Amino acid sequence: MAGFGRSVSDLALGIKFVMKIGQTLKETGGASEDYQESAEFLRCLELTLRNLERLAAKKPDRKAGGPSLDPAISTALSVLPEACTIQRHGQSGFTSTSKITVTIDGEIKDFFLKTGPTGDMFEGEHTSLQALRATVPTLCPASLTHGQLSNSRDHFLLTEFLDMSPHARSSTSATLAQKLAQLHTAPAPTPAGHATAMFGFPTTTFCGATAQDNTYRASWAEFFAQNRLRAIAAAVVRNQGADGGLVTWVDRVVAEVVPALLREGHLGGEAGIVPVLVHGDLWSGNKAVGRVSGWGGSEDVVFDPSSCYAHSEYELGIMKMFGGFSAAFFDEYHRLVPKTEPVEEYADRVELYELYHHLNHCVLFGGGYRDGAVDIMKKLCRKYGRK
């Protein structure tokens, strides 16, 4: 945030001022529906910024000389430590991030490093990046390795470096909508021990700091109900304390709304749906235009995935939650990936998938997101719940 010449607190105060204007316009009937959606986004962003500021304040200070290169990293790169330099690069609410520059045979190469206390987090991101890269080669940087540091209990993830400084676009680059469509139409592999493709993922992944159980299931409705909604409701209780009202609403959604919208034989019609790979946390902050060494030009790319094999529309929940994807983007995407039948329930399905991310933000950042989650659940239960 310092690059903008303002602190997170300054931004939050500015957002709060905009929200006050939005509330005044709403009360006078002068604000459009689009403006109200923008105001809701800003409200959520304010909460996130305040909590990221709190998280950042808890990080220990590092020595003025900057971070040092752990032997596990130089070993992974097959170079001597003195052939490397390391500097802090980027920001993350849950990990430390650095840029490593290495000289190999006279050639300078850059790499990206994440470190933190949770090894499972980096294993999940490593496996996610590998799967994304194998399906759409220019969608993301390649993950090279992950493991435990030698001089610390922390763990690390080492990837290609994504250069987001201005460069000419690759002459053969596809748009992000086209790449996402390619991702969402590629058949999922059949996991070992199963006869067909399944919903789930071979490793635990993390959405923010929240661990996601990706145990394989044959039913998408069952996977979403149990591995996502019930699991995240339990996480809310663990992190924020008992909340019988919220858990009761989640129970209703699982018992009434999920079967109504996602049951086999209904979602996708007689043909049903098949599992496809999703990024899993594709909000606008996890996409960019950048270049990896060897690509020749800049590409639309994504990063920080928490992947699984899911219904393709599951991806759209967080994309709609925070905005940053235009109507033209969705028009282009849906020309390539038509909305699942029943099309008339598309908006409600996406809102159901968005619910998971509201609940996850409640886990991560507190009760400010609870009201948004409950509002979604009340709305869906009124429409699809038992009368």
Q: Which two tokens stand for residue 75?
A: 């070993």
| Nearest CA-CA partner of 373 in 358, 352, 385 | 358
Ordered DSSP codes for 260-310: HHH-TTTTTGGG----EEE-S---GGGEEEEB-TTSSSBEEEE-S---EEE
Residue 175's φ and ψ, nearest 5 degrees, are: -75, 165
Residue 61 annotated to the active site: no
| CB proximity list for 250: less than 8 A, separation 6 or greater | 229, 230, 233, 359, 377
Cβ–Cβ < 8 Å for 31, 17: no
Q: What distance in Å separates the CA atoms of residue 179 and residue 187, rounded to the nearest whole number? A: 15
Beta bridge pairs of residue 113: 98, 158
Tell me the one-letter amino acid at 359: L
- C-alpha angle 183/185/189, rounded to 5°? 80
DSSP, collapsed to helix, strand or coil, labels residue 97 as strand
Calpha distance 176→301 (Å, rounded): 7
Q: Which position among 70, 154, 281, 300 bears the catalytic label?
A: 281
Active site residues: 281
